[in-house]
Structure 1
Amino acid sequence: MLARTPRYRIKRLDPDHEAFAALAEESRKEGFWMLVTLANNWEDGRNRFDKRGEALFGAWLEKELAGVCGLNVDPYVKGRREGRVRHLYVGTAHRMNGVGRQLVWSAIDKARKHFPVLNTRSAQTAFGFYEALGFEPVEGEEFATHRMRLARPPTRGRQGN
């Protein structure tokens, strides 16, 4: 009999939720500080994922927060509007169940409506993960290791025939 993959629900996340604190502590103990940074930036108002096109997603298995992924306007790109995948983390008990893919696809789906390009900077161990999702390697940029070109978002105002 095949093992059944758990069904995760992806929805918007508020880092003030107590489940986020537990996941952030787990990540910190593993030596990953991205969720601690996310919590600090949320608390002091530097990044509330509230600009046009931004979102913070959580993957839930019933009442347990399994993973987190953010989408921001890329703060490292000057002069053009691009999106950025940030703070991707999946709890150890939920890895290899497709949670990371679901979270990043949620960010990609939202980004398609707002950005022509989506960037990320990841550890070398995650290069294959991003490339399997369709991101292409970027050479020679300090703040991006991978980029995905998206359909151009619609312009505001009246569209020509």
Structure 2
Amino acid sequence: MSPLNANVSIRKLEQLPVQIRVLEAQAVAEGFRFLTRLITEWEDGSNRFDRPGECFLGMFCDGQLIAVGGLSCDLVAGSGVGRLRRVYVERTYRGRQVGKALVHQLLENAAVHFHKVRLSTDTSEAAAFYLRCGFEQVADDTATHVKILKNG
């Protein structure tokens, strides 16, 4: 596929856009429920990515939501550790550097607040993607990948 055009933006989401339901339906059709959990947690207030250092980003192309991803405090790992969560790219935009650009922006945000970022994934495609983004695979019950941002 061709690279993205110039009408692409990444911005912090203070509210979930209505278009999140389109991505959710696509994710559910692929067997992923994490966007459904995102919407539920956002609506009930249990996780809105609003603690210090946290953010939830949306990537838009010509006004259409094409990808989302969040950065939260990793409550399991403790202070100074962030966690990538709820990263999803619309099917037709995969393989076009969308996910990589979104993860890069999340990591830039993380570097201000965290010395390390962890994540968990359960698909080989996502595992390979995160390796390409500079993460290392780890043998840990609470994470599959980690990226050291600075000495902590």
1:115-149 superposed Cα distances (whole Å, 9 cap, x missing partner): 0110011123222211111111111x111011011
Q: Does structure 1 retain, via aligned residues, the 8 Å contact 2:3–2:97?
A: no
In structure 1, C-alpha distance between the alignment counterparts of 2:90 and 2:3, rounded to whole Å: 19
Aligned to 2:143, what secondary structure does the other structure show? Answer: coil
Q: Tell me if the contact between 2:89 and 2:99 (Cα under 8 Å) persists in the aligned partners.
A: yes
Amino acid at match of 2:98: V
SS in 2 for 1:138: strand
- Which residue in the other structure is 1:157 paired with? none
* Residue pair 1:115, 1:152 contacting (<8 A) in 2 also: no
Q: RMSD value over aligned CA atoms? A: 1.8
- How much does 1:151 deviate? 1.9
How far residue 17 of structure 1 moved from its aligned partner, in angstroms, is 1.5
Report the alpha carbon displacement of residue 61 of structure 1 after superposing the two structures with TM: 0.4
- Correspondence for 2:91: 92
CA–CA distance in 2 between the matches of 1:33 and 1:146? 20
Matching of residue 75 in structure 1 with residue 75 in structure 2:
yes
Give 5+ residue unaligned stretches, structure 2.
Answer: none
Task: Tell me the equivalent position of 1:39.
Answer: 39
Quote the Cα distance in structure 1 between the aligned partners of 2:51 and 2:105.
17
TM-score by length of 2: 0.91
Out of 103-112 and 9-18, give the one that drifted further: 9-18
How far apart are residue 67 of structure 1 and its match? 0.6
Which one has a bigger Cα radius of gyration? 1
* Cα distance in 2 for residues equivalent to 1:28 and 1:15: 21
Distance in 2 between the 1:3 and 1:144 partners? 33
Whole-Å separation in 2 of the counterparts to 1:3 and 1:128: 21
Q: Which residue of 2 aligns with 1:115?
A: 114
Q: Which has the larger strand fraction?
A: 2
Supply the AA of the counterpart residue of 1:66: I
- The equivalences for 1:1-161 within 5 A come to 3=2, 5-7=4-6, 8-78=8-78, 80-123=79-122, 124-139=124-139, 141-152=140-151
Cα shift at 1:18: 0.8
Moved over 6 A (4+): none
The AA in structure 2 aligned to 1:115 is: F
The CA distance in 2 between the partners of 1:4 and 1:119, in whole Å, is 28
Q: Distance in 2 between matches of 1:36 and 1:138?
A: 27
Contiguous gaps of at least 5 residues in structure 1: 154-161
Task: Give the % identical residues.
Answer: 32
The answer on whether the counterparts of 1:23 and 1:91 sit within 8 Å (CA) in structure 2 is yes
TM-score (norm 1): 0.86
